[in-house]
Amino acid sequence: MKRSVEIDLAKTIAIFGVVMIHVTAQFLLLHGTVGTWQYDSAIFWRVLAGLGVPLFLMCSGALMLRPEKELTLKRLYLHNVLRLVIAMLVWAIAYKLWIPLLKHHLTAAFVIQSVKEVLVFNQQFHLYYIHIMLLVYFLLPVTRSFVKNATEKEMRYFLAFWFVFGILYPTVRGFWPFNLISGIPVQWALNMTYAAVGYCVLGWYLKEKMPSVKLGAVLAAAGFASVLLPIIIITRAQGALYQAFLEVMTVGMCLYAAGVYILCLHAGRSMKRGKGFVAYMSKASFCIYLCHMFVLYTMDKFGAFSFAVPLVAAPLLTLAIVAVSTAVYWVISHIPVLKNWIV
């Protein structure tokens, strides 16, 4: 199958975003001081990087929901789903055992306990994305059928319904009178599933319709500003990081990610140089996502975040972590069996 340069470009931007989210978290939650310009610069990088997960979801939709793509239930479960489950379990166990291994405190009892915790999904926090993608994959037969047969009116109805309940509601649920609602409607994981499936359909829809560059630029700029400015203002006012608008299930982040995705669709189609780079980064992105926290924790252990100025350090540390993680991908991609199942 011919590679899609525009999707490769979007996935490359997405993986840099995901890594930078976790880099800036070190400054914002562990090493930063609220109210300083350094802290505000970390917020800037965090918001800039926030499109990572929505971009990945839209790319997945663009690739998996194409009506011409053959996807039998057998291939879906024995290849796509099984590969995700194996990768999740292998890397989840690796993260559990890594720190005790470094400290030479690894025991048979700890290994057994770690395996038990992994099997009940008590796993490294950033692996939540795999759980979401498994739900997306389980729904693919239904979603693909809908996309293939839906009229334009039905498609717009679906996206409007998704936007209201998967994006708009999670944005306003912390404000009156929505904060009076309790129970199932406010469960984060449920809302995340709404959002994930909708982002996938949106990714396919935008790739088919190809909105204008102007619309993409307006959405990206408006979305970015509507997230950044309130977070800085509210954070300074309350003396602690305001994180609600950083979620992927918020209006501002949705508009920002959709706008950048549209720009990637246009930029990719006219791209002359760098196709090989974005193609390789796209293929490596899953491995980078899986292993980058190992690299980040190691850098933090040696003090890389303690005295660094986030305005400069955040992008530099992101580049360094992505580079090392890409090297890990290169190694694993040359190992038979492993290259097919854990990266």
For residue 201, being part of any structural domain is answered with yes
Residue 28 located in a structural domain: yes
Question: Which of 113-122, 139-148, 200-209 is least confident?
Answer: 113-122
Q: What is the pLDDT of residue 180?
A: 62
Answer whether residue 335 is part of any domain: no
For residue 338, tell me if it sits in a domain.
no
- Please tell me whether residue 41 adopts helix, strand or coil conformation: helix
Q: Chain-wide mean pLDDT for the chain?
A: 88
pLDDT at 184 (0 to 100): 45
- Render pLDDT for 69-85 as a digit per residue (tens, 0 to 9): 888 888 999 989 999 99
Is 341 a member of any domain?
no
Q: Is residue 165 part of a domain?
A: yes
- State the Cα–Cα distance between residues 54 and 253, nearest whole angstrom: 8
Number of structural domains in the chain: 1
List all residues 6 or more positions away from 278 whose beta carbon is below 8 Å from its beta carbon. 5, 8, 9, 11, 12, 268, 271
Domain residues for 263? 5-318
Choose from 71-75, 222-226, 248-252 the range with maximum mean pLDDT: 222-226
Q: Tell me if 119 is assigned to some domain.
A: yes
Q: Which region among 109-123, 290-304, 324-338 has the lowest average model confidence (pLDDT)?
A: 109-123
Q: Are 49 and 18 in contact (CB under 8 A)?
A: yes
Of the candidates 226, 234, 214, the residue with the CA atom closest to the CA atom of residue 255: 226
> Is residue 238's pLDDT more than 80?
yes
Whether the per-residue pLDDT at 142 is higher than 60: the answer is yes
pLDDT in tens, 15-44: 999 999 999 998 888 767 888 899 999 999
Given this model, what pLDDT does residue 23 score?
Answer: 95
Average pLDDT over residues 103-119: 72
Full-model pTM: 0.90
For residue 121, pLDDT over 90 is answered with: no
With cut-offs at 50, 70 and 90, classify the pLDDT of residue 3: confident
Q: Are 144 and 65 in contact (CB under 8 A)?
A: yes
pLDDT given for residue 48 in this prediction? 97
Q: C-alpha angle 13/279/330, rounded to 5°?
A: 100
CA 27/CA 14 separation, integer angstroms: 20
In the predicted structure, residue 140 carries a pLDDT above the cut 70? yes
Q: Percentage of the chain with pLDDT > 90? A: 55
Give the model's confidence band at 1: pLDDT under 50 very low, under 70 low, under 90 confident, else very high. low
Asked whether the bond before 177 is cis by omega within 30 degrees of 0, the reply is yes
* Nearest C-alpha neighbor of 89 from the set 120, 43, 50: 120
Predicted pLDDT at 302: 82
Rg for the chain, CA atoms, rounded: 20
pLDDT tens per residue across span 166-210: 788 777 766 677 666 555 444 455 556 668 899 999 999 999 999
Question: How much is the pLDDT for 185?
Answer: 47
Name the DSSP class of 97. H
- Structural domain contains residue 334: no
